[in-house]
Structure 1
Amino acid sequence: MKPVTMYATGLCPYCVMAEKLLRSRGVTELNKIRVDSDAAQLQTMMKISGRRTVPQIFIGDFHVGGYDDLSALDREGSLESLLHD
């Protein structure tokens, strides 16, 4: 399984939903980076994703986007193959 990284905050309901969805698809190791407690990580997230909102999810080197993007990939059946390619 490819490594999964999620930039998140402590009080983000979409981050919680994204983590639940990833776990339900077999992700056991999730590199969760908190941007609310580390301004440098927030700057890094914005630089590599081009976005300011959380969550920002990366599967391997592929930038999925936020929860809505992750959920859309799951609905169309692409998430499983992305995780396991």
Structure 2
Amino acid sequence: MEANVEIYTWSRCPFCIRAKALLKQKGVNFTEYCIDGDEVARAKMAVRANGRRSLPQIFINDQHIGGCDDIYDLEFQGKLDLLLKGDAAAS
């Protein structure tokens, strides 16, 4: 089963572009919510992200992963692929 990956972004955010590049490199399908200047959408994102308002914010199977540095940390630790395969033990 393919993981449900969601990412909140701003179109010109370098960290968002970098996080999406990692997902694309891994062949991951994801849903992108580009919230450029939409403070209502950002507030909704912050609720899901435990108060974090920075971008990007990434979710895998409704689990909050964090931002760009967080997803790269998971990749370097070898845990990202486990999460993408639905292995809850990776978190």
Q: TM-score, normalised by structure 2?
A: 0.86
Q: CA deviation at 1:15?
A: 0.4
Q: Which residue number in structure 1 is paired with residue 68 of structure 2?
A: 67
The answer to whether structure 1 residue 45 and structure 2 residue 45 are counterparts is yes
1:56 partner amino acid? Q
Instruction: Specify the SS of the correspondent of 1:41.
Output: helix
Query: What CA RMSD, in Å, does the superposition of the two structures yield over aligned residues?
Result: 1.0
Per-residue CA shift, 1:50-82, capped at 9, x if unaligned?
A: 101000000111111000000000000000010
2:38 partner amino acid? D
Q: Which residue number in structure 2 is paired with residue 84 of structure 1?
A: 85
Q: Which residue number in structure 1 is paired with residue 89 of structure 2?
A: none
1:39 partner amino acid? E
2:80 partner amino acid? L
Per-residue CA shift, 1:6-61, capped at 9, x if unaligned?
A: 0000110010110010111220x211111214332111111110101000000111
Aligned partners of 1:79 and 1:26: how far apart in 2? 13
Instruction: Specify the SS of the correspondent of 1:73.
Output: helix
Identity %: 38
